[in-house]
């Protein structure tokens, strides 16, 4: 199988490319420069530099021709800041490209496609009473992305979405998403103050396995909730503390109302800076303090994902964050293309 990846030089795209190549598949990718030094991008991957957002349909069609499968490992998440109305930017980077690329894919004979989405979409469907899509433009955009993706499945093309949770692991030269949390923990004296609740998580390796498994044997029209390790925030932070050189550090659970109060301050700051937040940080308390856990049976049994060393993956992420904060590493940050 020959696979066309949008975003093959990023953390998840490059790991997926390596996994696919190791399984005997061929990979072609288009991505924006620069590529981090010693990034681990597989040499066997056919790489074309360019911005898929500004390429013509004919240019994309030419690159996709000859490929059997497609992976969308690009777009933006809630960390990228935009002015109002933020939903229109999420549509621009996360929704419209999926629609466009899948249309072109069908034209050139793509049979299998995987879209990297968000586990927030999973919980928006699981917990309709929270009305997450009404409160959070980012979550609404991920549901819209899934709807667009699912509209293209069938008639010879199987499309799947991976609803990805928090991910641990690193790519040399690229800043982990956890840098802000590391800085926050460091700024607290004596103990870490955090909310109740918890989350599911996976490693970069497991995401790559899920991508390859979906392309090889996934069921078209399926949005796969991806999760493996379910931990409370206290359990996760204990691992963070260990790798930050502060084993045994205490985590104190703060009242939810204090989290909401801080959320109001954050939203006020966003407004003052002309930023429209993708997540309403006041209402986000409903998610932050919940246990957003996912059973791993589906990705294990249907996609062939296997266990990994989450402790080591968290440790790698923490170390790279610390190196970036302490000026030991100059890392590329996430940006909108």
* DSSP sequence for 255-302: PHHHHHHHHHHHHHHHHHTT---SS-TTTTHHHHTSEE---SHHHHHH
Query: What is the Cα–Cα distance from 158 to 156, expressed in whole angstroms?
Result: 7
Identify the band that residue 155 occupies on the pLDDT scale cut at 50, 70 and 90: very high
Please tell me the predicted confidence (pLDDT) of residue 337.
Answer: 45
What confidence tens digit (pLDDT) does each residue in 277-290 have?
999 999 999 999 99
Q: Is pLDDT at 333 greater than 70 in this prediction?
A: no
The span from the CA of 27 to the CA of 4, in Å, is: 6
Is 126 inside any structural domain?
A: yes
288 found inside a domain: no
Contact 296, 305 (CB under 8 A): yes
| Domain assignment present for 76 | yes
- Host domain of residue 94: 2-167+203-228+295-304
Reported as half-sphere exposure (CB side, CA atoms, 13 A), residue 318 has a value of: 21
For residue 251, is it within any domain? no
Whether residue 96 is contained in a domain is answered as yes
| Residue 195 included in any domain | no
What integer best gives the mean pLDDT of the chain? 94
Closest CA to 14 of 179, 157, 173, 138: 173
Residue 81 is predicted with a pLDDT of 94
pLDDT for 332 beyond 80 = no
Task: Indicate whether 329 belongs to any domain.
Answer: no
d(C-alpha 183, C-alpha 103), whole Å: 43
First to last CA, the chain: 28
pTM: 0.95
Q: Does residue 156 lie within any of the structural domains?
A: yes
pLDDT one-digit tens code per residue, 49-81? 899 999 999 999 999 999 999 999 999 999 999
Helix (H) or strand (E) holding 41: none
pLDDT in tens, 76-99: 999 999 999 999 999 999 999 999
pLDDT higher than threshold 70 for residue 231: yes
Number of domains observed in the structure of the chain: 1
* Greatest mean pLDDT among 8-17, 25-34, 206-215: 206-215
The CATH number of the domain holding residue 88 is: 3.40.50.720
């Amino acid at each position: 199988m020959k696979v066309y990846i949008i975003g093959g030089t990023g953390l998840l795209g490059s790991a997926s490319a390596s996994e696919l190549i190791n399984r005997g598949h061929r990979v072609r990718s288009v991505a924006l420069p620069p590529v981090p030094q010693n990034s681990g991008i597989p040499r066997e991957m056919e790489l074309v530099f360019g911005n898929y957002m500004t390429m013509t349909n004919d240019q994309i069609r030419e690159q996709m021709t000859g490929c059997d499968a497609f992976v969308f490992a690009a777009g933006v998440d809630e960390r990228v800041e935009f002015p109002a109305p933020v939903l229109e930017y999420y549509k621009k980077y996360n929704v419209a490209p999926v629609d466009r690329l899948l249309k072109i894919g069908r034209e050139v004979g793509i049979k299998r496609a995987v879209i990297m989405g968000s586990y927030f979409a999973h919980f928006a469907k699981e917990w309709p009473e929270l009305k997450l899509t009404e409160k959070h433009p980012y979550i609404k955009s991920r549901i819209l992305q899934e709807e667009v993706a699912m509209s293209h499945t069938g008639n010879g093309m199987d499309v799947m979405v991976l609803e990805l949770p928090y991910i641990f692991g690193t790519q040399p030269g690229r800043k982990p998403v956890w840098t802000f949390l590391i800085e926050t923990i460091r700024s607290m004296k004596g103990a870490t103050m955090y909310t109740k609740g918890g989350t599911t998580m996976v490693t970069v390796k497991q995401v790559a396995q899920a991508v390859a498994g979906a392309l090889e044997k996934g069921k078209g029209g399926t949005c796969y909730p991806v999760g493996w390790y379910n931990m409370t925030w206290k359990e996760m932070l204990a691992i963070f503390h260990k790798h930050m050189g502060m084993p045994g550090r205490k985590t104190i659970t703060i009242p939810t109302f204090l989290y909401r109060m801080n959320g109001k301050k954050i939203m006020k700051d966003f407004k003052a800076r002309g930023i429209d937040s993708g997540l309403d940080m006041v209402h986000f308390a409903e998610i932050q303090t919940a246990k957003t856990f996912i059973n791993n049976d589906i990705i294990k049994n249907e996609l062939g994902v296997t266990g990994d060393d989450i402790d080591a993956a968290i440790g790698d992420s923490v170390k790279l964050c610390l190196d970036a904060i302490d000026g030991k590493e100059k890392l590329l940050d996430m940006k909108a293309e």
